[in-house]
C-alpha cells in the first residue's frame, strides 16, 4: 500500500485539497508514495502558521533552540539506516552516499546546535564616555527553503539547521522528485519537539508552490539551491521585497592534474568526483584539465577505471554508480552526449543508456568520458550527470585559464606535489572552494560553502558560522549611561586631547 502524505504545518500533517503526484524510485520505477500539490490557500495557511510561531520562537533562548536541534540530530542518527535507504530509493545515489547524505544533516544540526551558545556579536568602543555600543544578530522572520533533489536530506538539513538556530520558522518546499526524503526529515523534527508552526513543509511544483513561497509578503528570506535559471527568477522575485536570498546554483568544476601529480591518488579522486552521485552534485568534477606531459597516461588510466565501474541498483552495496534522478535528467544527459558527438569531441568510454532486463526500468547511463577542448559546449555547460570532459593544458597558467573560463565558480581542485602550483592555485582559481590533492567534492559542514560568478551571489554562504548570515540581520545597540544628552560627532570635538 503506497502511503499518501499531506502537508505539514501547525505541528501536524494535514489532508490537502490539491491534486496528487507520485514519487518514484529512479532505479526501478516503483511508486514510493504520493504527495499533494499545495493549493494557494494551503500555501497561505502554512505561511500563516509559520508567522504565528515567530514571536515565541525568536524569544526562545538560543541555547534551548540548540537543544531541540541536538535532539533532532539524535533522532536522525537513530534512524540513519532507514533514512539513508529512503534517500537511495528515491534519489538514486548509492547506499553509502545515501547514508552520507543523512550524516551531513546530523553533522550540521550538531554543529548548529552549538551556535546557539555562541552567535557572537561585537562590543565596540564608543566615541563618547559612559556609553556602550554592541551588535546582536536578529532573526529575519519566517523563511522559505527551496531545495533540490540531489542532496534530499543534507541540503534541507543545512538550510533548516541555520534558520532554526537563528530563530526563524521555516517553510520548506522539497523538490517534487524527493518529497519522501523531505517528509521523513520533517518527521524527525516533529519528533524532536519543535513547537507548532516552527516547521512547515509544503509540496508541489516550484512554479506554483515555490514561487508562492518566495513572493509571499511574510517570507523574510529565501534560501534556494537548484538551477541557474530558476535561481535568477527567485533572486528577482525576492529583490522586489528587499529580502535576503541565498542562492547556490551549481558549477562546472575542474580538477587540474599537473605533471607531477600522484596518478593513483588522482584517479581515485577523479572517479569519486566525476561519478559519485552519478555526477549530480553541484560540486561534481565535470572537467579534468591535464598537463600535456602526462595527458596520455592519465587518459589511458581514466578510461580503464571508468569502464570498470559497476552501474546498477544503488541499494546493492557492490554497485559503484546508480541511476540519474529522473527521466528529465536522463534526457538532458543523453542530449549532452549527442552534442559532444556532433561537435566532434572524442568519446573515450561510455556514452550509452544501459538497456535490457532490470536496466529498462531505470535511468541508468554508462560512466562517460569525452576528450574535448575549451571552446566546446561540453567544456562549458553544466551537464549534471556522469559525463566527464578531459582537456589538455600546456602548463600551469594555461590550466588555470581553462579552469576559470566558465561562467560558474563553485569548486576547484589541483593535484600536484609542487608547493608553487598548490599555493598559487589557492589564489588563482576563481571558485568558492579549492581542494589540493582531493577531488572537487567533499565539503565539511563547519566551513562556508558557496561560490562566485553564476554559481550565486558571494554575500551569503551556507554551512559554517557564515550560515547565520542568510537568516539574520545585525542590530546595532547604543546604551548611554551618562545621564545626559551626548551628541556623537558634535560633543566629541571637545573631548579630543581632554
Ligand atoms: P530547479 O532549479 O528547477 O529545481 C530546484 C528547486 O526549485 C525545486 O524544489 C523546484 O521545484 C524549485 N523551483 C522550480 N521552479 C521554481 C520557481 N519558479 N520558484 C521557486 N522554486 C522553483 O532544478 P531541476 O530539478 O529542474 O534541475 C535542473 C538543473 O538544475 C539540473 O540539471 C542542474 O543543472 C541544476 N541543479 C543544480 C543543483 C545544485 O545543487 N546546484 C541541484 C539541482 C539541479 P520542483 O522541481 O518541485 O518543481
Rg of the chain (C-alpha set): 24
Q: How far apart are CA 176 and CA 178, in angstroms?
A: 6
Q: What is the pLDDT of residue 142?
A: 98
Is the pLDDT assigned to residue 487 strictly greater than 60? Answer: yes
* Enzyme catalytic residues: 248, 282
> What's the pLDDT band for 463 if we cut at 50, 70, 90?
very high
Is the pLDDT assigned to residue 369 strictly greater than 60? Answer: yes
C-alpha dihedral sign at 12, 14, 19, 24: positive
From the CA of 282, give the closest atom in ligand 1. Answer: 40
Q: What is the pLDDT of residue 494?
A: 77
Residue nearest to atom 10 of ligand 1 (CA): 206
Q: What is the pLDDT of residue 416?
A: 98
Is the pLDDT assigned to residue 449 strictly greater than 70? Answer: yes
Instruction: Report the separation in Å between the CA atom of 115 and the middle of ligand 1, taken as the mean of its atom positions.
Output: 29
Distances (CA, A) of 54 to 57, 187, 384: 5, 20, 38
> What's the pLDDT band for 250 if we cut at 50, 70, 90?
confident
Residue nearest to atom 13 of ligand 1 (CA): 206
Average pLDDT of the residues in 326-336? 98
pLDDT tens digits along 306-326: 999 999 999 999 999 999 999
Least confidently predicted of 271-275, 315-319, 491-495: 491-495
Other C-beta atoms closer than 10 Å to the C-beta of 373 total 15
> What's the pLDDT band for 332 if we cut at 50, 70, 90?
very high
C-alpha cell at 446: 563547519
> What's the pLDDT band for 395 if we cut at 50, 70, 90?
very high
C-alpha dihedral sign at 396, 250, 155, 366: negative
Residues near 356 by beta carbon (within 8 Å), at least 6 away in sequence: none
Q: What is the pLDDT of residue 1?
A: 82
Strands 31-36, 285-291: pairing kind: unpaired
C-alpha dihedral sign at 440, 442, 447, 451: positive
Nearest to 480 by CA among 492, 488, 472, 469: 488
Residue nearest to atom 35 of ligand 1 (CA): 227
Percent of the chain with pLDDT over 90: 97
Average pLDDT of the residues in 105-126? 97
The gap from C-alpha 53 to its chain's centroid, in whole angstroms, comes to: 27
The gap from C-alpha 458 to its chain's centroid, in whole angstroms, comes to: 15
Mean pLDDT value across the chain = 97
> What's the pLDDT band for 226 if we cut at 50, 70, 90?
very high
Residue nearest to atom 29 of ligand 1 (CA): 227
Which residues surround ligand 1 with Cβ inside 6 Å? 146-150, 173, 175-176, 205-207, 210-211, 214, 225-227, 230, 233-234, 248-250, 282, 332, 382, 384
Average pLDDT of the residues in 213-221? 98
> What's the pLDDT band for 135 if we cut at 50, 70, 90?
very high
Q: How far apart are CA 209 and CA 73, in angstroms?
A: 28
**Predicted model pTM:** 0.97
Q: What is the pLDDT of residue 325?
A: 98
Residue nearest to atom 22 of ligand 1 (CA): 206
Pocket test for ligand 1, best of 26, 155, 206, 324 (most atoms within 8 A of CB): 206
From the CA of 146, give the closest atom in ligand 1. Answer: 9
> What's the pLDDT band for 496 if we cut at 50, 70, 90?
low
Average pLDDT of the residues in 160-176? 98
Give the burial string for 192-210 (b: 16+ CB within 10 Å, else e). Answer: bebeebbbbbbbbebeebb
Q: Do 188 and 76 meet the contact criterion of CB atoms below 8 Å apart?
A: yes
> What's the pLDDT band for 497 if we cut at 50, 70, 90?
low
Instruction: Report the separation in Å between the CA atom of 226 and the middle of ligand 1, taken as the mean of its atom positions.
Output: 4
Give the angle subtended at the CA of 143 by the CAs of 139 and 148, to the nearest 5°. 135
Residues near 116 by beta carbon (within 8 Å), at least 6 away in sequence: 61, 62, 63, 64, 65, 66, 67, 69, 165
> What's the pLDDT band for 428 if we cut at 50, 70, 90?
very high
Q: How far apart are CA 364 and CA 334, in angstroms?
A: 11
Instruction: Report the separation in Å between the CA atom of 184 and the middle of ligand 1, taken as the mean of its atom positions.
Output: 20
Q: What is the pLDDT of residue 495?
A: 76
Q: Do 200 and 114 meet the contact criterion of CB atoms below 8 Å apart?
A: no
Residues near 104 by beta carbon (within 8 Å), at least 6 away in sequence: 151, 153, 154, 157, 158, 445
Percent of the chain with pLDDT over 70: 99
Instruction: Report the separation in Å between the CA atom of 52 and the middle of ligand 1, taken as the mean of its atom positions.
Output: 29
Residue nearest to atom 30 of ligand 1 (CA): 227
Q: What is the pLDDT of residue 412?
A: 98
Q: What is the pLDDT of residue 493?
A: 75
Instruction: Report the separation in Å between the CA atom of 227 and the middle of ligand 1, taken as the mean of its atom positions.
Output: 5
Residue nearest to atom 46 of ligand 1 (CA): 175
Other C-beta atoms closer than 10 Å to the C-beta of 278 total 33
Q: Do 36 and 23 meet the contact criterion of CB atoms below 8 Å apart?
A: no
Pocket test for ligand 1, best of 90, 91, 226, 457 (most atoms within 8 A of CB): 226
pLDDT tens digits along 18-54: 999 999 999 999 999 999 999 999 999 999 999 999 9
Q: What is the pLDDT of residue 296?
A: 98
From the CA of 174, give the closest atom in ligand 1. Answer: 9
Instruction: Report the separation in Å between the CA atom of 178 and the middle of ligand 1, taken as the mean of its atom positions.
Output: 12
Instruction: Report the separation in Å between the CA atom of 230 and the middle of ligand 1, taken as the mean of its atom positions.
Output: 6
HSE value, Cβ hemisphere, 13 Å, CA-based, for 33: 19
pLDDT tens digits along 84-100: 999 999 999 999 999 99
Average pLDDT of the residues in 462-488? 97
Amino acid at each position: 500500500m503506497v502511503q499518501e502524505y499531506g502537508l505539514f504545518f501547525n505541528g501536524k500533517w494535514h489532508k490537502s485539497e490539491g491534486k496528487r503526484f507520485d514519487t518514484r524510485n529512479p532505479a526501478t520505477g516503483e511508486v514510493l508514495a504520493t504527495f499533494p500539490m499545495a493549493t494557494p490557500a494551503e500555501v497561505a495557511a502554512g505561511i500563516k502558521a509559520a508567522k504565528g510561531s515567530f514571536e515565541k520562537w525568536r524569544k526562545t533562548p538560543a541555547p534551548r533552540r540548540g537543544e531541540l536541534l541536538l535532539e533532532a540530530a539524535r533522532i536522525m542518527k537513530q534512524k540513519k539506516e532507514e533514512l539513508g535507504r529512503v534517500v537511495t530509493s528515491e534519489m538514486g545515489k548509492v547506499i553509502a552516499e545515501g547514508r552520507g547524505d543523512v550524516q551531513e544533516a546530523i553533522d550540521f544540526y550538531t554543529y548548529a546546535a552549538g551556535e546557539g551558545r555562541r552567535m557572537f556579536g561585537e562590543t565596540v568602543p564608543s566615541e563618547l564616555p559612559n556609553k556602550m555600543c554592541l551588535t546582536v544578530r536578529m532573526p529575519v522572520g519566517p523563511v522559505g527553503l527551496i531545495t533540490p533533489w540531489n542532496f534530499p536530506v543534507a541540503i534541507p538539513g543545512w538550510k533548516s539547521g541555520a534558520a532554526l538556530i537563528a530563530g526563524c520558522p521555516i517553510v520548506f518546499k522539497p523538490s517534487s522528485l524527493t518529497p519522501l526524503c523531505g517528509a521523513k526529515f520533517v518527521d524527525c523534527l516533529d519528533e524532536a519537539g519543535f513547537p507548532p508552526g516552527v516547521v512547515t513543509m509544503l509540496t508541489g511544483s516550484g512554479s506554483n508552490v515555490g514561487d508562492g513561497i518566495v513572493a509571499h509578503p511574510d517570507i523574510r528570506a529565501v534560501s534556494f539551491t537548484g538551477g541557474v535559471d530558476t535561481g535568477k527568477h527567485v533572486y528577482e522575485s525576492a529583490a522586489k521585497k528587499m529580502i535576503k536570498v541565498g542562492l547556490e546554483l551549481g558549477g562546472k568544476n575542474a580538477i587540474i592534474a599537473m605533471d607531477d601529480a600522484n596518478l593513483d591518488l588522482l584517479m581515485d579522486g577523479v572517479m569519486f568526483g566525476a561519478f559519485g552521485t552519478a555526477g549530480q552534485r553541484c560540486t561534481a568534477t565535470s572537467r579534468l584539465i591535464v598537463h600535456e606531459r602526462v595527458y596520455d597516461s592519465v587518459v589511458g588510466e581514466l578510461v580503464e577505471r571508468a569502464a570498470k565501474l559497476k552501474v546498477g541498483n544503488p541499494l546493492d552495496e557492490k554497485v559503484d554508480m546508480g541511476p540519474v534522478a529522473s527521466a528529465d535528467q536522463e534526457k538532458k544527459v543523453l542530449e549532452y552526449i549527442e552534442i559532444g558527438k556532433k561537435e566532434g569531441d572524442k568519446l573515450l568510454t561510455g556514452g550509452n543508456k544501459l538497456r535490457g532486463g532490470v536496466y529498462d526500468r531505470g535511468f541508468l547511463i554508462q560512466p562517460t568520458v569525452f576528450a574535448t577542448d575549451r571552446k566546446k559546449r561540453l567544456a562549458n555547460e553544466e551537464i549534471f550527470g556522469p559525463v566527464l570532459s578531459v582537456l589538455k593544458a600546456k602548463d600551469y597558467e594555461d590550466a588555470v585559464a581553462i579552469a576559470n573560463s566558465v561562467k560558474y565558480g563553485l569548486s576547484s581542485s589541483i593535484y600536484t606535489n609542487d608547493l608553487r602550483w598548490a599555493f598559487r592555485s589557492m589564489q588563482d582559481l576563481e571558485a568558492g572552494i579549492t581542494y589540493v590533492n582531493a577531488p572537487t567534492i567533499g565539503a565539511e559542514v563547519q566551513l562556508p560553502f558557496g561560490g562566485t560568478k553564476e554559481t550565486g551571489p558571494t554575500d551569503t554562504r551556507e554551512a559554517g558560522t557564515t550560515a547565520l548570515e542568510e537568516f539574520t540581520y545585525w542590530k546595532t545597540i547604543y546604551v548611554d549611561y551618562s545621564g545626559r544628552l551626548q551628541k556623537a560627532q558634535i560633543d566629541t570635538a571637545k573631548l579630543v586631547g581632554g
